[in-house]
Amino acid sequence: MKCLVIFGLIVAVFAGIAGYGYLLFTDLTRPLPRPEYKDDTYWGPGDGKNYVPDTKIYDFKLDVPKAEIEDLRQQLNRTLRLTDPLDGIAFEYGFNTYALEQFVEYWRDKYLTKWKGRQDYLNSLKQYTTEIQGLKIHYIHERVAEEVAEKKHVYPLLLLHGWPGSVREFYDFIPMLGKDQNITDYSFEVVAPSLVGFGWSDAATRVGFNAAEMATVMRNLMLRLGHKKFFIQGGDWGSIIGSNLATLYPDNVLGYHSNMCMLTTPLSILKSVYINYYPEKVLKSRMFYDHHVGIWEKYQLLLAESGYYHLQATKPDTIGAALDSSPVALAAYILEKFQTCTGPSLQQDFGAIVTVFGLEAVLDNLMIYYLNNAATTAARFYAENMSKPYRDLQLDRVQTPVPMGCARFRFDLPAASEWQLQDKFTNIKHSMYFQHGGHFAALEMPSMLYNDFTAFVQKVGLHVKS
């Protein structure tokens, strides 16, 4: 009898543990309801009590004073106090200082000499500013020509960049979206903002400006421009902001297309472990699961390449002070990310950045950070998105019916599979893997991104010509 009692107690304990585990698992994996979200929070200077919104739209032209360019030249002309790289080391320890010396020399002696031409190029797309929630927002706005609009369905498109990028990533991509391309019945009126705290957009003045707040500002910008419904395309932070916008404001979104498809819910992580061992049971073809990075390799890669993330998510003002004070430090910090994103076969190649992105494009992007003193304000976005108030929203667990498309470029961060994404995006229209390409898809291979985005729009099927 005593043995039976003990056995019964053991069974009861294990049943309790199993029941609790099941309830915990169910609680952690079930979808959450969409939260009510305040869409008019004031983020400008002061407390906003006497804030009078300015709804006007102003033309924007970049016009950097010659004295500012000359001051930069003088800073770059100072003797560099750089430590020689270790023998036999290229970029394994960070951005190679021999390469950095060459970049600084080119930046100072050639790029800045032709600054007027670079400035004219940056002004070649139509740009504006307007005030949203107390912040001046800078944006590119390229409309479709009348003759194109007569032949094609035209949709508004919100195009979102990330870090350490800027709107400069889109200068080859945007013209494709508005041209009379034969491969699609669609054309796009493009709005490409500088994110808050990036480029020529103001930075928030107090704590709390996270990706949900950024999504709200971007949505309100589109409403300001008369677009109640629009497509979204984004990578890096632009992908996360786009996901938040599609989650919080699904009625405003015609479709959301990402080239950095990520999901970090408990259920997604469990599925990632399963895919690690049985990719052939989940992914659609050998080509697809050959792209898949094993879970341990994935975490090793993230650990090796995410030091900047930890700095910016914990002490953004410390690293920001160093980068804002020294253009050479800013160059080393940002160029190292572009070097890494050239792909495994080129990461240790001294000519990789020139080969993959082009020197002028990368220096244009660097200048946007330098001219706007944006290293600190952009880095703070990481800290805000690691904060408890944002994490408590758990927006990755809130489902959205918005049509979704995913383009996975081979050498980008490991992306979520369709099996994982479907827990959040209940209306996946398009899912693609590419054998080439990396993190800065719009800059590296704009034609491929254009083809994939328009294929997604075709599958959304808003208008189909007979």
**Active site amino acids:** 236, 382, 439
Going by C-alpha positions, the residue among 346, 155, 112, 390 that lies closest to residue 255 is 155
Instruction: Give the list of residues 6+ apart from residue 21 with CB closer than 8 angstroms, or none.
Output: none
Contact criterion met (CB below 8 Å) for 396 and 370: no
Residue type, 235: G
Q: Are strands 186-193 and 230-234 parallel, antiparallel or unpaired?
A: unpaired
Burial class for 182, CB neighbours closer than 10 Å (0-12, 13-18, 19+): exposed
- Cα-atom radius of gyration of the chain, to the nearest Å? 24
Q: How far is CA 214 from the centre of its chain?
A: 12
The phi and psi torsions of 448 (rounded to 5 degrees) equal -65, -40
* Residue 176: both structure tokens together: 């494709």
Contact criterion met (CB below 8 Å) for 169 and 365: yes
Q: At what angle do helices 295-305 and 266-277 cross, to 10 degrees?
A: 120
What is the DSSP track for 309-361?
Answer: HHHHHH-HHHHHHHHHH-HHHHHHHHHHHHHHTT-TTTTT-TTHHHHHT-HHH
139 by DSSP, 3-state: which? strand
Going by C-alpha positions, the residue among 277, 278, 239 that lies closest to residue 256 is 239
Going by C-alpha positions, the residue among 315, 313, 314, 333 that lies closest to residue 323 is 333
The phi and psi torsions of 329 (rounded to 5 degrees) equal -65, -40
What are the DSSP E strand ranges found in 56-123?
57-60
